[in-house]
Amino acid sequence: MSDPRWEEVDAYLESVLLAPDPVLDATLADARAAGLPAIDVAPTQGALLQLLASAVRAEAILEVGTLGGYSTIWLARSLPPGGRLVSLEIDPHHAEVARANLARAGLDDRVEVRVGPARAGLGALVDAGEGPFDLAFIDADKPGNPDYFAEALRLVRPGGLIVVDNVVRGGAVAGAGSDDPGVVGSRRVLEAMGSEPRVLATALQTVGAKGYDGLAVALVR
């Protein structure tokens, strides 16, 4: 689902709000050249992630789903000296591309890309006591979102944020009878967030160059 106006507005917003960024442009170009899918966040969404991380004065960030490192760069740029970001990626090729992009961005000293299934990676973080994190960004396989949210809730400090991307699924999330795994996972994570007394949560529908979708944000009480 798309509309030419959405792309026009995105282009306008980027032109007035975001400075040209050759590093981010090269990150996207290299990801496409390496065969990675074009499912990175939009530039305005990346800027929102950076803004949210800055607003909570994040010194430790957790990302679930690295892809080519585009959203990782946006988030890592919010970190102060000595800050760190742990990003979990299941695909070794994606991780390799991301690490090269992070090195070019000058952020490889504060970002660690860990390869393996996210559930195992999150469990390892909990077991090792590597938290607390100030912000978690979840943008991986959608059926896993309920589990990723539950684990993130164990890792993010009170006052921190958990952001879950792609929860609207082109509007399909409203369909209670859907058997699409991505829709089912999105409904389950939204219901978990809505019934969880330890968070204050909302979700927004979004349109733009990336189409029709949305994200959920939870503040850990």
What pLDDT, in 10s, does the model give residues 62-88? 999 999 999 999 999 999 999 999 999
State the Cα angle at 48 between 154 and 80, rounded to 5°.
70
pLDDT score, position 2: 81
How far apart CA 62 and CA 72 sit, in angstroms, is 10
Phi, psi of 87 (to 5 degrees): -120, 130
Band of pLDDT at residue 118, cut at 50, 70 and 90: very high
Give me the domains of the chain, ranges plus CATH numbers.
Answer: 4-161 (3.40.50.150)
How far apart CA 91 and CA 88 sit, in angstroms, is 9
For residue 61, pLDDT over 80 is answered with yes
Cα-Cα end-to-end distance for the chain: 36
Contact, 133 vs 156, CB < 8 A?
yes
- Calculate the average pLDDT of the chain: 97
pLDDT score, position 180: 97
Average pLDDT over residues 161-173: 98
For residue 1, pLDDT over 90 is answered with no
Amino acid symbol at 129: G
State the Cα angle at 144 between 176 and 171, rounded to 5°.
35
Entry pTM: 0.97
